[in-house]
Amino acid sequence: MEFLSSLGVGFDAALTFSNLGIALIGAFLGTMMGALPGLGPANGVAILIPIAFSIGLGPLPSLILMTSVYYGAMYGGRISSILLNIPGDEPAMMTCLDGYPMARKGMAGEALSLSGIASFIGAIFATIGLALLAPQLVKIALLFGPAEYFALFTIAFATLGGISSTNQAKAAFAAAVGLAIAMIGVDTQTGVQRFTFGEVHLFDGIDFLIAIVGLFALSEVFIFLEHRGSGDHKEQGITSIGRVLAPWSMIRSCIPTFGRSTVIGFLAGVLPGAGASLGSFLSYSVEKQIVDPTGKTFGKGDPRGVAAPEVGNNAAAGGALVPMLALGVPGSGTTAVLLAVLLSLNITPGPLLFSQNPDVVWGLIAALFIANVMLLILNIPLVGLFSRVLLVPVHILMPLVAMVSFVGIYGISGSSFDLILMVIFGVVGWLFRKLDIPLVPVILGILLGNEMEVNLRRAMTLSDGDWLTLVGSPLSITLWALAIIGFVAPMIFGRKVKRAIAEESDEIAVGD
């Protein structure tokens, strides 16, 4: 099989002693970041990009580090869900529903190890799915011309608000703001300055790393400052863990769950605008419908209710990498940040990546497998250690986050200007969060803005200024239709989905 030989090349490149060390560090850091409430996968990867960049890691080691952190955070999110009933990150929300009741019954250790195994299974199968599906998608993508690419970027923005978005105007606004920021600097086509107003620091444009770290990491610090003193959740203490391995009978009873949830999660990840949160939500709801339609055991500590969302969110994390790698268009927040990793390494994802840099693609996929195995090995015995991380007080954690953000950004250019810019992004991030304006489209706009404009202008040059060229082929018409559906559907179903998720999570409080 061609896929196995490609994968062999990837493993050849990835399996060195130093790469394994980096994967171990990444997996460890990622699990901690995922476990800490308030530091999700996007934040974690965002803080680390400039640092990996500044210390001069090569492309493959950087990718290995970031993907280990990414998968690690997906693993880590469950720890605080189960022990504290507080999701470590958004996708881990559904794990609270049955994980916390299990912990209350004195089965915290079982729940943790079962969800660790569930994470592993979801992620491994999704990675296999990624390796099989991405090359197929590439074949379609090779048919794309500039007009189709322009439409594809539009799809990315139109769907990014997600199916649970209730206000599409805000998602569109965020995307436009990101695009507007991307326009700052030298115009690549004509060489003229745009929106720089003579400020030298702006000539090269605004580095997306500054925006990402400011919007995600620094704004989190402001959020914590705002909520200090109200609802400090560390008081209730940590449930003791007990045994660290789930009994085989419990694992065996979950095997059908693993299968169903992997498929659902992976598909949710591949689809634009769905992502890990929806993956875990769908997996949980479907599982509940199938094995426990009357609601006898689910929500009261059913192991299958722990396994389903964990498989689902990890499978979705793998699935979300498919469009990101094959098309260069990420389907979720964290993959947008991973796209930033690739771009900062001068690697442009998309169909050409598979033909021009197969070593990077397959090295990355191999890295995902390695990260997963590392994570399973780390997570089962060390879960006690990771749960200690939850005890780190906010007044040490948040200054650390802020300071490491500053260090990373300073490392890129060594200028005060960039640091000030980052603070401004932090403030804007805080304001946007308060107003419920999503941040991910802003990032994606900054990342993809120039590429999107270049494709528009290339298409227009080819057609000699005829705007109808944008809808000039069946393929591009299909893409536009998808973009419109993706943008309009949440207006119709958004409230419904959001309410459904809210209802499920309300049961946490009720069943408590």
Partner 1 sequence: MSDRIMGGIGLALAAFYIWAATIIPESFMADVVGPATFPIIIGVIIAICSVWFILRPDPDPVWPSLNRLAEIGFAIAVCLLYAILLPKLGFLICTALAAGYMSWRLGGTPVGAVLTGIGLSVGIWVVFKLVLGLSLAVGPLGI
**Positions in the binding site for partner 1 (CB under 8 A):** 51, 54-55, 167, 169-170, 172-173, 176-177, 179-180, 183, 187, 189-195, 197, 218, 221-222, 224-226, 228-229, 232, 393-396, 398-400, 402-404, 406-407, 410-411, 414, 416, 419-420, 422-423, 426-427, 430, 434-437, 452-453, 456-457, 460-461, 464-465
Estimate the crossing angle of helix 416-434 against helix 219-227, to 10 degrees: 50
Give the number of other CB atoms < 10 A from CB of residue 435. Answer: 10
Specify whether the CB–CB gap between 47 and 341 falls below 8 A: no
Burial 263-297 (b: 16+ CB within 10 A, else e): bbbbbbbbbbbbbbbbbbbbbbbbbbeebbeeeeb
Q: What does DSSP assign to residue 382? A: H
Antiparallel, parallel or unpaired: β 185-186 and 193-194: antiparallel
Q: What does DSSP assign to residue 186? A: E
Minimum CB distance to partner 1 smaller for 324 or for 456: 456
Minimum CB distance to partner 1 smaller for 258 or for 430: 430
In whole angstroms, the minimum distance from the beta carbon of 479 to partner 1 comes to: 18
Alpha-carbon span 184 to 174, nearest angstrom? 16
In whole angstroms, the minimum distance from the beta carbon of 92 to partner 1 comes to: 24
Q: How far is CA 451 from the centre of its chain?
A: 21
Minimum CB distance to partner 1 smaller for 39 or for 315: 39
Minimum CB distance to partner 1 smaller for 104 or for 457: 457
Q: CA end-to-end span of the chain, whole Å? A: 51
Minimum CB distance to partner 1 smaller for 251 or for 459: 459
H or E element that contains 287: helix 275-291
In whole angstroms, the minimum distance from the beta carbon of 197 to partner 1 comes to: 8
In whole angstroms, the minimum distance from the beta carbon of 180 to partner 1 comes to: 5
In whole angstroms, the minimum distance from the beta carbon of 105 to partner 1 comes to: 33
H helical segments located in 36-107: 41-54, 59-84, 93-102
Question: Phi and psi at residue 470, in whole multiples of 5°?
Answer: -65, -25
In whole angstroms, the minimum distance from the beta carbon of 275 to partner 1 comes to: 22
Those residues whose C-beta lies under 8 Å from the C-beta of residue 230, and which sit 6 or more positions away, are none
In whole angstroms, the minimum distance from the beta carbon of 411 to partner 1 comes to: 5
Minimum CB distance to partner 1 smaller for 15 or for 223: 223
Collapse the DSSP code of 300 into the 3-class scheme (helix H, G, I; strand E, B; otherwise coil) and give the result.
coil
Burial 327-356 (b: 16+ CB within 10 A, else e): bbbbbbbbbbbbbbbbbbbebebbbebbee
Minimum CB distance to partner 1 smaller for 293 or for 393: 393
Collapse the DSSP code of 331 into the 3-class scheme (helix H, G, I; strand E, B; otherwise coil) and give the result.
coil
Closest-CA residue to 61 (of 17, 19, 8) = 19
Give the number of other CB atoms < 10 A from CB of residue 51. Answer: 18
In whole angstroms, the minimum distance from the beta carbon of 288 to partner 1 comes to: 31
In whole angstroms, the minimum distance from the beta carbon of 85 to partner 1 comes to: 22
In whole angstroms, the minimum distance from the beta carbon of 163 to partner 1 comes to: 18
Q: What is the token pair recorded at 175?
A: 């995307």
Closest-CA residue to 394 (of 152, 172, 231) = 231
In whole angstroms, the minimum distance from the beta carbon of 183 to partner 1 comes to: 5
Distances (CA, A) of 274 to 28, 91, 267, 320: 27, 11, 9, 9
H or E element that contains 474: helix 474-511
Alpha-carbon span 294 to 378, nearest angstrom? 37
Sign of CA dihedral 452, 453, 457, 463: positive
In whole angstroms, the minimum distance from the beta carbon of 315 to partner 1 comes to: 33
Minimum CB distance to partner 1 smaller for 129 or for 408: 408
In whole angstroms, the minimum distance from the beta carbon of 94 to partner 1 comes to: 25
Minimum CB distance to partner 1 smaller for 7 or for 33: 33
